[in-house]
Amino acid sequence: MRLLPAVDIKNGVTLNLTDPANLIKKYVEAGVNFIHLVDLDRAYSTGNNDQLISELIASRSRND
């Protein structure tokens, strides 16, 4: 069985109020290859985290 960790982002932070970049870093250090990013603001039409998600993806792409 494969587990796919999700990072749920609302108002620029994860649901447990941590920095998404740090959470993603911990997942990658643990050997995770795929992460599901969820923009809860966009999902509920209350805004978006487009810039943050773009930066997170670009940051991980540079570190691969």
Instruction: State the pLDDT at residue 64.
Output: 60
pLDDT band, very low/low/confident/very high, at 15 (cuts 50, 70, 90) = very high
Q: Which pLDDT does position 22 carry in this prediction?
A: 94
Q: Quick one: 20 exposed, middle or buried, by C-beta within 10 A (0-12, 13-18, 19+)?
A: buried
Q: Which tens digits make up the pLDDT trace of 28-63?
A: 999 999 999 999 999 999 999 999 999 999 987 776
> Are residues 8 and 38 in contact, defined by beta-carbon separation less than 8 angstroms?
yes
**Whole-prediction pTM:** 0.83
The pLDDT value given to residue 62: 72
pLDDT of residue 61: 76
Domain edges within the chain: 6-10+14-41
